Amino acid sequence: AMESLQDEIDMVGEEAASMDAYAATDAAECFAVLSEYFFSAPELLAERFPALYQHFCRFYRQDPLARLLRGQAENDAQWAD
């Protein structure tokens, strides 16, 4: 993931990168930044790095994307009635 992020940063620049460029500085920061995305923007992490997202689900024993989608579906159903 870190190499992929660095490649993206090299291509589009830090400001245009899809994720925080700080993740590409070293392995520990990559883990920390991507962990933040796991909880704060799970849809982005799952789309960009699906295998890593699944690893984080097992590691943290949570699935924030499923929780987010479930909440959206419940909200949609509430407004449909």
pLDDT the model gives residue 81: 64
Please, which pLDDT band fits residue 72 given cuts at 50, 70 and 90? confident
Question: What domains appear along the chain, each with residue ranges and CATH number?
Answer: 2-80 (3.40.390.10)
Please identify which residue in the block is written with the tokens 């993740």. Answer: 23
pLDDT the model gives residue 73: 79
Q: How far is CA 36 from the centre of its chain?
A: 8
For residue 16, what is the DSSP state?
T
pLDDT the model gives residue 59: 98
What DSSP letter does each residue of 40-65 carry, written as one string?
Answer: H-HHHHHHH-HHHHHHHHHHHT--HH
Length of the chain: 81
Read off the pLDDT of residues 13-69 as tens digits, 9 standing for 90 and up.
988 888 999 999 999 999 999 999 999 999 999 999 999 999 999 999 999 999 999
Read off the pLDDT of residues 15-28 as tens digits, 9 standing for 90 and up.
888 899 999 999 99
Residues in contact with 45: Cβ distance below 8 Å, sequence separation at least 6, in sequence order: 34, 37, 38, 52, 53, 56
